[in-house]
A and B are shown apart, each in its own frame.
Chain A
Amino acid sequence: MKQFSYVRASSPEDAVQRAIAHQESQFIAGGTNLVDRLKAFLDNPSELIDVSRLGLKEIETMPDGSIRIGAMVSNTAVANHHQIREHYPLLSRAILSGASQQIRNVATVGGNLLQRTRCPYYYDTAFACNKRQPESGCAARHGINRMHAILGASEKCIAVHPSDMCVALAALDAVVEVQGANGQRQIPFTEFHRLPGNTPQWDSNLEPGALITAVILPPNPAAKTGIYLKLRDRTSYAFALVSVAAMVAVEGDAIHHARLALGGVAHKPWRSLETESFLEGKTAASETFEQAAEIALQQAQPLSHNHFKVSMAQRAIKRAFTISAQGGSTA
C-alpha cells in the first residue's frame, strides 16, 4: 500500500473543496470496498478524505411523503428501518441479501452506490483491464466470464455492477442527491450509473470531486408488493448471478405501475422500461409475465460461459412478478 495522508472533512462543502483542490484524493466512508482496493493496489490515492463524520445519518420523511436517506446511513440501518420495511420491503430484502452483517454495519448508502465491480480480472493486476488501466485490453472477454454481463456490455468491458441495494433503488425510481463544486443537484437513479462503452474506467456520471449526500425514495403505490429475488452460487455472502427487483400493483385483474430492474447482468443496475410499458394494463397472468420476461432479455448477448444467465433471469422475473401480483411478501 502506498503512503497517503488522511484528513477529516468538516462539512460536505469542505469535502468537495478538498477533493477538487487535491486531484489524487479519494473520499472514504465505511471503506468496505475502498480499503480492499487499496490493498490490491487498484487505487493509489495520495490523500483520503474521511466523510464519515459529516452527519448525513438521518432517515427522514419529507413533506411530499418521500423518504430521504442520508448518504452516511449504514446499510444495516436502512434495512432495519421500520418505514423502509413497511413501505419498501424489497429495498430491505435487497440490502440484507448482500455482503455480511459485519460489512453491512459499516458500509454506507453513498459508498454502496460507488462500490466497484468484483470482476476478478479487474482485481488481479497481472491481467489486462480497461477499467483499471484504460486501453490495456479486457482479459475477461475471452476468460472465465461466467459472472459477467449479458446486457449493455461493450468490447472494452463486460464487468457487472455488484450492488444489490442499487437494483432495488433503480426499480423504486430513487433520486441521488449530490453536492458538487457548483452546489447541489439531483440525479435520477437510472442515470447515476453508466454503461461501459469506450470508457469503462467511469462507473457513474458523478463529476470529479462531487459527494453523494442522500438518496431519496419517492412515494410508490406498488412498492409494498415489491420483490427482490437473488440467485447465486451460495445462499449467503455471494454476489448475484442474476437478481431481480420487481413490483406490480394489480387493480381488478389489470397491472399498473410495473417496475423491473435486474442485477448481476450489466455494468449498471439494469432497468427494463420496455418490460414495464408492455405490462401496463395487461392481465396479471402467468403468460403475461412469461412474455414480460422474454422482452426483458430480448437484447441479451451472453458470453462463452454465461448463457445460463438468460433463462435464469427470465424465470426469476416471471417468479418475482407472480409473487408481487399476489401481494408480495414483507421483509
Chain B
Amino acid sequence: MNKVVGTSVSRKEGLAKVMGKAPYSAEHSISGIIHGYLVTSTIAKGRIQSIDTQAAEQAPGVIAVFTHNNRPLIFEPDNDFQNSKIYESRLPLSDDQIYYGGQIIGLVVADTFEQAREASQLIEVEYEVETPLVDSRQATYEPGISMFGESMTFSKGEFAAGNFEAGIANAAASIEATYETATELHSPMEPHAIIAHWQDSDSLTVYEPSQFVMNSQGTYAQLFGILPKKYASLPPTLAAPLARKRFLGPIVFFVPLLPVNSSAP
C-alpha cells in the first residue's frame, strides 16, 4: 500500500535552505545589471492629475522613468489560468486611475538600486482624491474576471443561526471547553524581486521565486510577445512555499520595459 500519511518526505532543496545555501532570486549575479525601483500610490482611490518626473530623470545614474504617460507596449495575456495567469487583470500603468493604496504608478531605472530609489523620491504626484470603499458590507458584488471559461460572480451570503441556548440546554450531553487559535502571520522570506536577463531581443531568462514555473513562462511569453520556447525560467531554489508567490504579481510587467542586460528588482 502507498504509505503517505505518517511518512516524512524530505524536500529536495531542504538542506540547502536550512543551511542558507539556496540563493534568493535577487542574489543571482549578472554583469551589467541595472536596477528598477517602483513608485507607488500614496492614496487609496482617485486619479493622477499630474506626475512630474523631470527632476528624477535628471538625477545621477537614472536611465529612464516610466509612468502611464510613456509605458512601452505590452500585450494583454489570456489570463485563463492554463496558459497564463496574472493577479491583476488591469495591466500596470494602463491609465491615471488609482484603485488601491500602494498601486504601482511608476518605475525608475538607474545604474544602481540606491540611485533608482533616491530618484523615485524626486517624483511629484498630484492626485484627485476620492473616498475609497473600505467596508465590505457596502461591497458592490460586481462579477470578477473569468477563469477556465467560467465567469466569477459574487453574491451576498445569507446567514442564519438557531437557538444555541435552548439547544445546549436540551442536549443529552455537553462539553464545555475553550479552544484558541493563535494568529499566524505568513511572512515571505524574500520580498518580491526579479532579475530579468535578455540574451537577445526574443530570448529572456528570468530569476524569480515562483510556485508555478510553466505558467509564468506562458504569461511572460504572452505579455512580451515572444515564443515560450525561447524563454527559460530558472526558478531559484527558494520558491514560493516560503515566499507567498504563486502567480505573477504586477511587478513582473516591468521586465520588458527594461533593455537587454537589465534587471528589475
A126-B114 Cα distance, complex, nearest whole Å: 20
Q: Which of B42, B117, B118 contacts A126 (CB 8 A)?
A: B42
A contact residues around B117 at 8 Å (CB): 1
Q: Does B121 contact A (CB under 8 A)?
A: yes
Q: Mark A1-18, 1 if CB is under 8 A from B, else 0.
A: 110000000000000000
Q: Does A41 contact B (CB under 8 A)?
A: yes
B contact residues around A1 at 8 Å (CB): 114, 117-118
A172-B129 Cα distance, complex, nearest whole Å: 50
Residue of A nearest to B40 (CB): A126
A contact residues around B42 at 8 Å (CB): 126
In B97-123, which residues have CB < 8 Å from any A CB?
114, 117-118, 121
A1-B118 Cα distance, complex, nearest whole Å: 6
A41-B118 Cα distance, complex, nearest whole Å: 9
**Min C-beta distance of A45 to chain B, whole Å:** 15
Q: Mark A31-42, 1 if CB is under 8 A from B, else 0.
A: 000000000010
Residue of B nearest to A41 (CB): B121
Q: Mark B119-162, 1 if CB is under 8 A from A, else 0.
A: 00100000000000000000000000000000000000000000
A301-B45 Cα distance, complex, nearest whole Å: 33
Residue of A nearest to B117 (CB): A1
**Min C-beta distance of A137 to chain B, whole Å:** 15
**Min C-beta distance of A122 to chain B, whole Å:** 15
A155-B92 Cα distance, complex, nearest whole Å: 40
A121-B121 Cα distance, complex, nearest whole Å: 17
A126-B42 Cα distance, complex, nearest whole Å: 6
A8-B94 Cα distance, complex, nearest whole Å: 49
In A40-63, which residues have CB < 8 Å from any B CB?
41
**Min C-beta distance of A186 to chain B, whole Å:** 41
A contact residues around B121 at 8 Å (CB): 41
B contact residues around A126 at 8 Å (CB): 42
**Min C-beta distance of A4 to chain B, whole Å:** 12
Chain B interface (Cβ within 8 Å of chain A)? Answer: 42, 114, 117-118, 121
For this complex, 6 residue pairs linking A to B, each with C-beta atoms less than 8 Å apart, are: A1-B114, A1-B117, A1-B118, A2-B118, A41-B121, A126-B42
